[in-house]
Every structure is written in structure tokens, then in C-alpha cells.
Structure 1
Amino acid sequence: MISKPLTTQLQKLLRSDVQSMHAYAIQSAAGMVKLDAMENPYPLPAHLQEVLGQRLGALALNRYPDGRVNDLRHALADYAQMPEGFDIMLGNGSDELISLLALACAIPGASVLAPVPGFVMYAMSAQLQGLSFIGVPLTADFELDETAMLAAIAEQQPAIIYLAYPNNPTANLWDDEVIEKIILAAPGLVVLDEAYQPFASKSYIDRIVKHSNVLLMRTLSKFGLAGVRLGYMMGPKALIAEIDKVRPPYNISVLNCECALFALEHRQVFAAQAKELIAQREWLQSALANMAGVKAWHSDANMILLRVDDAAKTFDAMKARGVLVKNVSKMHELLANCLRVTVGSAQENAQLLAALKDSL
């Protein structure tokens, strides 16, 4: 069926900046070794699948979500060891929380600032809510440019600053002293995005009590529940209470809620998976370090950024060999000829290395 273009009348109804945007692209992974989206490769064990299925089948799907969501908030607060005096807010993935932050801070002339290259949703959410986005380039080795960051903060006075910890797609943790200087210089909110916390060597959780303007955001996607779509954000109670006012009612479905609660009850299963993935990451980094024609950066996440001579050619060749990774070379000039690979199972990582070697 041939798709017809929008009529002139309909074009006038839609924002011109939205029409000029590109939708978030999701690669087809049918029949591929899927190593492009930082997913946990391990499914829920069969015996837990059966128990979870029984719990989900007993839910009142004909009713709106109820106080069970508060049970999840308390369980997540316990899991994350949330400090006293703080509160927690849930989102349909971290993406929704990022959008809600932009909505809550959408005062005329407001802006969002983040290091680049970084997570694309920071800029996209700002644009969709009418805020300007300021991207401050990282250094050539993907570290925070302290001088440039502080100068941009002083000049632009951003309402929100995002610091991914570790960063996507570079997978590195940044210097804590530089982060503290940025927080002290910030006129508005600073959001520490710890999406990859299960694989990181450290967290900011113990330091958020020092600052009244810092929010810490996480997701259960990397924990092992990418399909459940559940993010959460912690911060001072008064601050969370204000941001929570723009959250849609019932944004967490009863199915998502129960899946998350079930996973937290069996957190040791997911902790063991994370431990295995960290071991696989170390093995993969060691193998990449000895591969000619590849430069790989140290990772504190479940992904590794690497540079090859020709990213597009290597990506296509790997895909032809049944291995799907992410070509990030066009995202930012600092990522020239870079690919981002997800750390998978032992078998998947072996297939990745073989496909990469053959494709160089």
C-alpha cells in the first residue's frame, strides 16, 4: 500500500520542528545476534517464568492501578538504599522521566545542558517541550571538559544539567571532582543518570544528600527488565513532589508493577546475571585490546565503545554475518568510525569477536 503525503492543511496543524525531526530508529534484529541495545541477554529462569505467569494472570486487569504502585516505590527505595528525607518517582522507562522533567521546567527561555556525545533523549525531550538544548563536547578521550562545562553553565544558566554516570555511548564514569564543581555551579537541577548502575564500579547514591538540587535517575532496563519499561528517580521530597505533579495518572501499568516487584523479590538472580556480564565484559575488553585495527575504551557499563578504520563498512559486514551492533559514527564528530557493542552471553561475545575479526 502506497503511503500518501500529508495534505497542506494537515501540515499546518503540526509543529514544523516536529516535521523536520527524525523518529527514534529501532533496528530490525530478526534472526540476528542482538548486541545493539544494551539488553541483558539472559531470560528469566523457567521456574520463575511459571510463578510470574501465575501472578500476572491473577491481576485485576479490568481495574486501574492501585496502591500496589506504592509497594513498588518502597521496594525500589529499599533496593537503591534511598537516603532519609528523599522520595521516589516512577516513570514508564527513564525516557518518560526525562520528558516529565522537561515539562516541569518548561519556563520561557529555559534550557537543558548535557555533555555530548550522550543519550539522545536529553536533547529530544528538550526540543519537544520547547526548551533549548546546549551540548558541550567531551574531550577527545570522552572525559568531561571542565572548563567548557563551567563556562557554558555560567553563560547559559540551564534549568537542567544531565550527567550520565556512566555515559552512553562512551560507557565511562567521569571524574568525581569535576562533577562536584558542575553541581556547585549549577543554577538549576542536576540529574545523575545511572541507567547502567548494575555494571558500574561506583554510584552517586551516597553523595546526593549533600545537594538540594540533585536528582538520581535509574532504570530496571539494564537490571534485566528492558521489556517492562520502568524507570525511577530519587531526590529531596519537596522537589520530587513538584515534579510528580506533571506525571500522568496510572503511568505504571499493573503488569509492569507486578513484574518489577517480582524481579526485586528475586534480585539475587539478576545480581548473578550482572556479575556474569561484568566478567564477560572484562574478557571481551581483553580480547578487543589484542585485536589489530580496533581501539576499545574502558567500560563501566554493559557496552563497549570501539573505533575501527571504517565503521559503516564494518557494521554492514558484521550484520551480513548475523551480528547486529550499533553504528554511532554519525552521532557526533567525536565518534568518527565508532561502533557500540553490547556485552552479551559468552556465546554471543564469541560470535561478536569472530564477526568483527572477519569484517575488519
Structure 2
Amino acid sequence: MNAPLPQRLARLIRQDVQGMHAYAVQPSIGLVKLDAMENPHRLSPQLQRELGERLGAVALNRYPGERIDTLKQALARHAGMPEGFSLMLGNGSDEIISLIAMACDVPGASILAPMPGFVMYAMSAQLQGLKFIPVDLTPDFELDERAMLSAIEQHQPSIVYLAYPNNPTANLWDDAVVEKIVQAAPGLVVIDEAYQPFASRTYADRITRHDHVLLMRTMSKFGLAGVRIGYMIGRSALVAQIDKVRPPYNVSVLNCEAALFALEHAKVFEDQAAELRRQRGLLLERLSKLPGVKAWRSDANMILVRVPDATQAFEGMKGRGVLVKNVSRMHPLLAQCLRLTVGTAEENAQQLKALQESL
């Protein structure tokens, strides 16, 4: 536990920051790590050697330069970016979320998002001094159309976040409801497609209909969580304004080269995603047979489950060497819920056994 801050220093730090909790990362040494929706597959030894040689040749003595533009072009091709649109890079999606809030920080600005959802939407609002407006999902974790449209009309938010699919509920929402929200939004709408490699649908083919929609993706779920590359696509004029608040050289030369290497071997990662989708189906099928467990349909590489006692199940699984995420205290709708990451066949077998024994 951290010691109290001396008063002469405490007066320099914002009171709301002092009252916050830092983003928590669970210790995972010695455990099967299934708490953070990471791709469990590593590169083959041959690709490891090739990447190592390539990274070893990078000019670490120079600031990132034109190679960053090469990565942007490669990502634009990978995502099928339309004409008239531009792409901005971030040090993970988290940085992009912060930059959007910074760019939109005008008097009276606010951010609206369905809850439960990704914690960084609310955190970015608080840190930038914007009002955050949470709108509860339905008990089945669907968008509450009436509540969302009412909140938009009442608060006129500057930014609306729609995770597609959502974290931690892992579901894709009704497209007709999504479109109504997009059309009703007076400001920006950010479609967060962090889990797109595992989803059955994408909003990418609809962004050309609107000038206020931004599409946000990450290479973390592609298989590069450790590389920290996020990107955002939108109308060029809009992206150019947000790009002005981006720190210079926010993506390192090593991260850039690793991302380019991965895109050149995209088939390897696409095959991994296909295997994880297959494992997700098997895991859902087996979870449905566990008494007392309710699992929701997933379009991501995670599955939300409700158990009789989330704390008991979480601690029991951890004691059996499997680390998952206890989300039961994140929001009242998540009462007694755990979030399970889809792993390899062996990891999923260990996860199921640990869960069953811990119920």
C-alpha cells in the first residue's frame, strides 16, 4: 500500500485524481492468464528470428520518420479505408480515446456511453474535465434504445462511444438501434471495434454514410497486445483536427516495425483468429452444460458468464492456477459475473475444469 502523500505535495495534485484508482493489472506469474483478452498464440520460431533480425536493424538513434507513414498506409489497406478518409495512429486505443476527449474539450462538452462498457471512456472524460453520461444497458446487455435516445436528446453529448462488440459483455448490438443512435447524435460517434477480428459484422462499410463517425481499432486483439498500436479512421477534415493534439513521435520505431511485420504476415494472425473463434464456440457449448452457469453469446475473444458466487469462483479458479477477470463489482448489471478470455484448446480445458471445481 502506498504511503500518504505529504500535504505540501498533495495540494499540487487534483482532488479528483487523488480519489481515483489507477488502472489495475492483475499479477499473473505462474497462472494461466485468461483475464485480458490477449491472443494466446506466439510467433513461430522462424518468424521470431525474422522479426528479431528486422528489429535489430532499426535505427534506434533516430526519431520515428517516414516509416510511420508506411504503417498508416498498410493499415489503411488492411482496413479497406475509403477515399476521402484518413487514419491516425495511437499508442494503443487508450491514447486515442484520451486525444478525442482533449480535442473536444470545449465548455459544456460531455461524453456518453452505454454501461457496463470500457472503463477508459469514463476515465478520459474525468481526466479531461468533461461530464460523463452513463446509460445502462438492458438486463440482457442490449442497447436500451429509448434510454439512449432520451439521454442524447437531453444532454446533447459531444462524443458518443459505441463498442462493437462491447467489453465486457462481448456482444454486438442491434444494427437498427445503432443507426438510430448515430443519426440522433449531435456530436461525434466513435465506433470502437477493438474486437473486430472475432466479430461477425463490422461498421466499416457504413462509415461513408456519415461525416461525424470515427472508427477505432487496435492491433492488440489482432495479436500484438504488447506492441501498443491503435488507429482511428474518419473523414480527413475531422481526423486532421484531432491529430493536432497527438504528441509527436507517439509510436516508437520498434512498435511500428513490429506492426508492419505482422501485417505482412496477416494470414498467420487471421488463422489464429479463426482458431480462437472455433475455440469460442466449443467453450460456449461446454459452458452451457455447467449447472448454475449462464453464458452470453460472444462476438469477441471473451465470454461473460454469471455464476452463483463470483468471488468464490474467481478465487477458486485462481487457486487452481487459472486467472480470469471478476467483473461482478464493475456495474450492478454484472452482479456475480466473470469474464473469461478464450484461450488455446489446452487453456480452455484447464479453465473449464477450474471453473467447474470452483462453483
Category of TM-score, reference length = shorter chain: over 0.9
Number of equivalent positions: 359
Q: Secondary structure at the match of 2:132?
A: strand
1:71 match: 70
1:307 match: 306
1:331 match: 330
Alpha-carbon distance between aligned partners in 2 of 1:120 and 1:165, rounded to the nearest angstrom: 15
1:207 match: 206
> Equivalences for 1:131-210 in 2 at 5 Å?
131-210=130-209
Structure 1 gap segments, 5+ residues each: none
1:103 match: 102
> Equivalences for 1:13-52 in 2 at 5 Å?
13-52=12-51
Alpha-carbon distance between aligned partners in 1 of 2:305 and 2:288, rounded to the nearest angstrom: 10
Q: Secondary structure at the match of 1:135?
A: strand
Residues 274-326 of structure 1 show CA distances to partners (whole Å, capped at 9, x for unaligned) of 00000000000000011111000000000000000000111000000000000
- The aligned amino acid for 2:159 is I
TM-score, reference length from structure 1: 0.99
Residues 228-260 of structure 1 show CA distances to partners (whole Å, capped at 9, x for unaligned) of 000000000000000000000000000000000
Q: Secondary structure at the match of 1:229?
A: coil
Q: Secondary structure at the match of 1:242?
A: helix
1:109 Cα deviation (Å)? 1.4
Residues 14-68 of structure 1 show CA distances to partners (whole Å, capped at 9, x for unaligned) of 0000000000000000000000000000001110000010010001101100000
Alpha-carbon distance between aligned partners in 2 of 1:5 and 1:269, rounded to the nearest angstrom: 49
1:321 match: 320
1:61 match: 60
Residues 1-26 of structure 1 show CA distances to partners (whole Å, capped at 9, x for unaligned) of x9542111111100000000000000
Alpha-carbon distance between aligned partners in 2 of 1:105 and 1:210, rounded to the nearest angstrom: 22
TM-score, reference length from structure 2: 0.99
Residues 152-185 of structure 1 show CA distances to partners (whole Å, capped at 9, x for unaligned) of 0000010000000000000000011111110111
1:81 match: 80
Alpha-carbon distance between aligned partners in 2 of 1:120 and 1:180, rounded to the nearest angstrom: 23
Q: Tell whether 2:285 aligns with 1:286.
A: yes
Alpha-carbon distance between aligned partners in 1 of 2:228 and 2:21, rounded to the nearest angstrom: 22
Alpha-carbon distance between aligned partners in 1 of 2:217 and 2:135, rounded to the nearest angstrom: 23
1:144 Cα deviation (Å)? 0.2
- The aligned amino acid for 1:319 is K
Q: Secondary structure at the match of 2:317?
A: helix
- The aligned amino acid for 2:119 is V
1:108 Cα deviation (Å)? 1.6
Alpha-carbon distance between aligned partners in 2 of 1:230 and 1:123, rounded to the nearest angstrom: 21
- The aligned amino acid for 2:173 is W
Alpha-carbon distance between aligned partners in 2 of 1:309 and 1:84, rounded to the nearest angstrom: 51
Once superposed, which parts of structure 1, at least 4 consecutive aligned residues long, lie more than 4 Å away?
Answer: none
- The aligned amino acid for 1:216 is L
Alpha-carbon distance between aligned partners in 2 of 1:308 and 1:220, rounded to the nearest angstrom: 31
Alpha-carbon distance between aligned partners in 2 of 1:285 and 1:318, rounded to the nearest angstrom: 18
1:224 match: 223
Alpha-carbon distance between aligned partners in 2 of 1:3 and 1:221, rounded to the nearest angstrom: 31
Alpha-carbon distance between aligned partners in 2 of 1:245 and 1:71, rounded to the nearest angstrom: 20
1:259 match: 258
1:5 match: 4
Alpha-carbon distance between aligned partners in 1 of 2:14 and 2:4, rounded to the nearest angstrom: 16
Q: Which range moves more in the overlay, 6-15 or 207-216?
A: 6-15
Q: Secondary structure at the match of 1:172?
A: coil
